[in-house]
Amino acid sequence: MSELQKIVVGIRSSNLSQSQTNLLIQEVLSSDPNLKRDLFDIKTIKTTGDIHNTHRLDRIGGKGLFIKEIEEKIILGEIDIGVHSMKDVPAQEALPDLDIICWMKRYKANDALLSNSGKSFMDLPAGSVIGTSSIRRRSQVLSLRKDLCIKLLRGNVDTRIQKLKNQEYDAIILSLAGLARLNLEHLVTEILDFKLFLPAACQGAVGVQASKASKVREIFSSINDTQTEIECLTERRVLKNINANCNSPVSIFAKIMNDQIQIWFELHDHYGQKIFQKKVSAKTNNYFELSDTLSNEVIEIVGQRKINELDELKDDFNYTPD
């Protein structure tokens, strides 16, 4: 690919996006000593989700709000690739000409609690104010602690942490992977166990998006992590099949172990009631069939109408105990 003069990379204007992109570029350069750092030209792009950083995501669309403008610039040829946190990428692909051409190795998918008091989630005093913008995390909090207050928390990772330090919240929940990539793991009070907080689809995974016809695919193929790709495609397929997205209180995690792929799946309602829970497994090469079987069972037991209704939280996001 020596004829390639420049790869223009589109990312969100956040420290996390910059950090993830730097890690990606380091991996690519390490994989091929003939490539140079100046091959990559990074352009920051304001997305709808970044611009409207005080609104409830589900009220301004929720689907693809952190990637839409980046995708548009790939289509227009203004940038070559976009680097995304894959949990921000809707499972219902809206643009058939685009593809995820590379999956970086997934970091731990756990949620993490940061608390001013240093107390763990179950030890927080009743009435403590928890910050999140995730409908999934909101439902999970309510399933475990209806005696806590929930308050909407928007902004990038740095902004959210500053709001915690300003005592606007007693504790906040963030992705462990994001904190790790920003070298902020030392701020974590508790890594939340999957038994309490099963993660969102693709949490901890970073993907490279490009046009299907892009010439840059070859450069990134050597660093593609196949295990991450299969696990995340499995999670995304279930979401796509049941027509769920980032607004839905859906948790799913797939893991390959000893040529077996296991899927953990949970669905809550908006009041914290767990309405479906299942763990399934199969041979790794049957991951698509396993995804479809699980999806069909969810739809059969819960009903597509109910799943669709969970896409919209009609109540106030903020919650105060009675």
| Residues annotated as part of the active site | 88
- What is the DSSP track for 91-108? SS-S-TTEEEEEEPPP--
Please tell me what DSSP assigns to residue 319: B
103 touches 220 (CB < 8 A): no
* Torsion sign across C-alpha atoms 19, 21, 26, 27: positive
DSSP tally for the chain: helices H, then strands E: 10, 13
- Helix, strand, coil distribution of the chain in percent, nearest 5: 35, 25, 40
213 touches 77 (CB < 8 A): no
